[in-house]
Structures are given as C-alpha cells and as structure tokens.
Structure 1
Amino acid sequence: MKPINLKNPIHFLAFGFGSGLIKPAPGTWGSIAGMILAILLWNLTASPVFFIGLSIISFIAGCYICEKTSQDLGVHDDGRIVWDEIVGIFLIFAFLPQHDTLFYILTFITFRIFDILKPFPIGFIDKKLKGGLGIMVDDILASVYAIIVLYFLYFGLHLADLI
C-alpha cells in the first residue's frame, strides 16, 4: 500500500477531508462528515434541486476521485476512501421527507445499516462492479434503500395525524 497524500486534492476529497483516516470505522466517520456538510449546505440552500445537482456532480466526480485514489494506493475500494459515503448522504438530503434533527439521525442510521449490510442487490453489485463506478454505486443504492425506509417512517409517524 502506498502512502496517503492529503495535499493532493483528489486524495483529500477521497478521504472525506481526512474523516476517512479516523479509526475505527472510517465509513462511519465519512458519513458523519457528509452529514455535517449536508446539514450546513441545507441550512444555506434549503433546496432539493441543489442537492440533486450536487449529488449528480459529486457522483460523476467521485467515479474519478475514487478510481484515481484506489490506483494511487494500489488497493481497490480502500476502506479509508469515504467520498462515496458523503455523496450517498447528499442524495438522501435531495429526497429527505423532513429536514429536522430526528430525520437527520434516522438518515445517518438507515444509511449506515444499508451501507454495512449491503442487502441484495447492493452486495452483488459491489462484488461485480469494479473501478470508481463500483466504489460509488453501492453507496448510491444504500441511499435509495435508506430513502425508501425514511418515507415509510415519515408516513408511519404522520399516520396518526391523518386518522
């Protein structure tokens, strides 16, 4: 494994501004960095459209960022690469049913569960798809699963209001 260079902007982003270097559980720390950044950006924009655009741009850039960093390290999908977690959080914020502390906590928990457990087809795709795209896609799918669960929770919490 080759050394990390946080002065390299590609590595700096791939390692989630350094959050991916925190032990244990770098993916969790990367997700926390993504949550902090997403909350700050939401407070500035309060725009799902902004987060959709941010997710698309960050995903496309992430395919290159993660691939290049993996090549530089000589390791495919090194656990310290957490840009994919950050982009996954951005995607959830684009579709989050409610922006408040409860749903921020639920976002973090549901995303981490799906990112760690990788239920079908996430785990299958994670094993089959290589390169930067492979690194990014499993977290996007984990985000989609999290969004679905968050909407079930949202409607469950508000069901009493409808009755």
Structure 2
Amino acid sequence: MKRVIYLLMICVGGLFASCEKDEIGGTATEALAGEWQLTVDAVDDAGNVVLVDPFGIGVILGITYNTAENVADKMYVSDLGNFWDYTVVVNADCNNLTFSSNGEVQNEAYDCKVNIEGGKMLPGAATTPSGMPADSLVYYVSFSDDENPATYGYSKYKVSGYRRTGFAADEQ
C-alpha cells in the first residue's frame, strides 16, 4: 500500500511540475496594432472635411499589424479592401504612437502608390457607440490612381475611428 501512495505522490508531483507556462511576448508594434472601426471623409490640404463619407460606405473595418521582421519602426496599414483596397508598410514610432509612409509607397494589394501621413493612435480618446472608452486612430491617405480629389475639390482622405471592441453594441 505504501508503494501505491508513493507512486501516486510522484505522479501528482510530476503533473504539477509539468504545468509551468512560458511567457509569450507581444510583437514589436503591439502598441499600434489592432482592428479598427473606421470612417473615411474627404479633406482639403489643411485637414478640413470637404465631403463626409464621399463614397457612402459608412463604417469599415481596417487593421494595423506587425511586419514579418518584427521591428518596432515598421508596420502594415490595411483597409482589407473595404475602401480603396490598400495594404502598405509604414514607418512606426511605438513610443509616440505615430506612423506615416514618409511619401508614396507601393501598395501591396494592387499596383498603385499610397501616401499615409499624420497617423496617430490616442489611447482611450474615442467613445464607442455603447458609450465605452476605446483607443482612437486617425491618419490621412491619398492614392496615385485617384482622380476624385482633382474632380471634386479635395486633396486626400481622413481615416478615423476606434479600436474594435468585439462587443455587438459597438459593431456598425
């Protein structure tokens, strides 16, 4: 009987010893990465809204995420094809929560150039439709193949919104 108790104690001890968990780290751009509920407005050079939701698309889902290099100074910005279909690598500053392309960069979704400027994430600065605080994201984007600004009198698009919460009340 003593053998059975000793054997059982050894098995239980081994079981507890094998349950250690390793810490899983985040990505280099974790502070800026996320899914975002976004709106798009046409703005002039000064950032003043000229046309609200010029294409009538309403709220779109966009994402910001880490590159394969996992470095803190580069990340992807994408509209997942919900607005203009762009996926670009931008320069990121995770300490200041800012990002931009510093001029035109190649779109990875299709052949055109994209310029993203003035990108910033503001922790807790947005209010979701359910009334809860969330992180805010804003940036300005323009496209080399877009003839609308010249035709309708604006210069770029302001993309802004809040970090997706996953709650049904905040989905639009």
Q: Which is helix-richer, 1 or 2?
A: 1
TM norm structure 2? 0.24
TM-score between the two structures when normalised by the length of structure 1: 0.24
The structure with the largest strand share of the pair is 2
Question: Which of structures 1 and 2 has the bigger CA Rg?
Answer: 2
Higher RCO, Cα 8 Å, sep 6+: 1
